[in-house]
Amino acid sequence: MSQGPSSLQKGFTLWFTGLPCSGKSAVADLVAKILKEKHLYVERLDGDIVRRDLTRDLGFSKEDRDENIRRITFVAKLLSRNGVAVLTSFVSPYREARDRARREIENFYEVYVKCPVEVCMERDVKGMYKKALNGEIKDFTGVDDPYEEPENPEIVLDTDAETLEESAQKVVDKLLELGYL
């Protein structure tokens, strides 16, 4: 009989941020799988899924992006303070909004998924960068809207130079160092 998640688990939030198509969701999904195998309570909050359900009323203006992150911060704060490992993956392009999330969420760790925009464009299976470059999408991060790089992230993943597994292992190693595993 397999052991379930520990009721003594200390919650935390890993906040994956980076350009569209940098690998945020892929790495967060693999880390979530690893943590579940280690019998942790894990919740994934992913940009595409959250926008479809929790924040479908919001667009992509700066105000709407800030409101999106405010709502996600609230959910992550509730989950992590109740012993859940929360892994978010949002572009969250504005430093101020990420800093607000850091102030509100106990045990918050910023994971900068660093990848050159040219590589992100090559990975873009949905064609969003192309649409943005053609003017079909306005305020697209990395094209006509800025991405403010984190100043002091706890973890930096260079997803253009690392394999998915190497990036996930860097995150797991940091969680070991911090005493969560």
Which tokens sit at 170?
A: 């860097």
* Planar angle of CA 120, 125, 129, nearest 5 degrees: 50
* Alpha-carbon span 59 to 66, nearest angstrom: 10
Residues 175 and 40 sit within 8 Å (Cβ to Cβ): no
Residues 174, 108, 53, 142: is their CA dihedral positive or negative? negative
Name the catalytic one among 80, 89, 92, 167.
92
What's the CA dihedral at 69, 71, 75, 77 to 10 degrees?
A: 60
- Does residue 89 have an active-site annotation? no
Residue numbers annotated as active site: 92
